[in-house]
């Protein structure tokens, strides 16, 4: 297993201009990480030469680009809006190819206002089938995140995977996003995980609960998972302090040091 970090962890700095993606990559190098997830929201341009320069920087620092990530919504009632999100995702699959990223994280979406979960499910399946097929053509795995809405439980996520029925669609298993019985749900999803997001806590009725990453790593190893634990920090502490601390915690568990 490897440890990486999503650019989203530093979102306030990337959005506010206090940090560039290049500086984020440098920070990951200094933490001794294995890879980076380059969230689409923070790219100043997607011109090929910029993507190539970023790819070269990661290579020079010994960092893999483990994946990209988009904020797709495939459950919108408006067919035109769903089409826009499918095309946006395809565009980022193309960008992933240029970056050398083997994987792209997507969302399914919520149940829309005045819609039903069945409608949302069917719309999401249609869109996911198209983007997974496109990912297959381009050699990029599509990773569906458990992100609330119609992916709020392990059962919902696995139902979507079964309906799409394409090996190029897997799960981006987020360890902070299940609410019912998180560790049991991790076990259900682990065999289908192609990448993960490591949050420090998951939500519960009593408030945030720290994720036991020794237990998580055991679950993932038992499922044969050898990919990334990608930090996605959403805590309240200063990220420039909290992310390196969390990274060292995960590295010590994964590497046994």
Q: Are strands 201-202 and 141-145 parallel, antiparallel or unpaired?
A: unpaired
- Return phi, psi of residue 152, to 5°: -75, -20
User: Coil, helix or strand for 119?
Assistant: helix
Range(s) of the domain holding residue 123: 2-255
Give the whole-angstrom CA distance, residue 9 versus residue 16: 13
- Cβ neighbours of residue 54 under 8 Å, at least 6 residues apart? 21, 22, 25, 38, 99
- Return phi, psi of residue 171, to 5°: -110, 135
pLDDT at 180: 87
pLDDT at 257: 54
Q: What is the DSSP letter of 237?
A: S
Residue entry with tokens 């829309």: 112
As for how many domains the chain has, the answer is 1
The number of beta carbons lying within 10 Å of the beta carbon of residue 137 is 11
The string of DSSP codes covering 178-196 is: --SSHHHHHHHHGGGEEEE
Give the whole-angstrom CA distance, residue 85 versus residue 129: 13
Tens place of pLDDT per residue across the chain (257 aa): 999 999 999 999 999 999 999 999 999 999 999 999 999 999 999 999 999 999 999 999 999 999 999 999 999 999 999 999 999 999 999 999 999 999 999 999 999 999 999 999 999 999 999 999 999 999 999 999 999 999 999 999 999 999 999 999 999 999 999 998 999 999 999 999 999 999 999 998 888 999 999 999 999 999 999 999 999 999 999 999 999 999 999 999 999 85
pLDDT at 136: 98
User: Looking at residue 55, which CATH number applies to its domain?
Assistant: 3.20.20.150
pLDDT at 113: 92
pLDDT at 84: 98
């Amino acid at each position: 297993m490897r440890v990486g970090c999503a650019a989203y962890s530093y979102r306030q700095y990337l959005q506010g201009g206090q940090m560039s993606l290049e500086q984020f990559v440098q920070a990951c190098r200094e933490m001794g990480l294995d890879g980076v997830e380059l969230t689409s929201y923070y790219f100043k341009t997607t011109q090929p030469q910029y993507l190539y320069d970023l790819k070269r920087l990661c290579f020079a620092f010994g960092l893999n680009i483990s994946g990209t990530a988009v904020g797709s919504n495939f459950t919108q009632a408006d067919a035109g809006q769903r089409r826009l999100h499918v095309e946006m995702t395809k565009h980022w699959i193309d960008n992933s190819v240029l970056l050398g990223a083997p994987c792209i994280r997507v969302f399914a979406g919520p149940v829309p206002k005045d819609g039903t979960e069945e409608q949302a499910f069917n719309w999401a399946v249609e869109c996911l089938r198209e983007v997974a097929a496109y990912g297959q053509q381009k050699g990029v795995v599509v990773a569906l995140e458990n992100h609330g809405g119609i992916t709020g439980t392990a059962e919902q996520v696995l139902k979507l995977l079964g309906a799409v029925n394409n090996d190029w669609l897997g799960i981006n298993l987020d360890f902070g996003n299940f609410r019912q019985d998180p560790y049991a749900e991790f076990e259900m999803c682990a065999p289908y995980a192609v990448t993960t997001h490591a949050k420090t806590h998951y939500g519960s009725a009593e408030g945030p609960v720290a994720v036991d990453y020794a237990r998580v790593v055991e679950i993932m190893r038992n499922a044969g998972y050898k990919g990334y634990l990608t930090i996605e920090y959403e805590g309240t502490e200063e990220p420039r302090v909290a992310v390196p601390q969390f990274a060292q915690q995960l590295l010590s568990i994964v590497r046994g040091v």
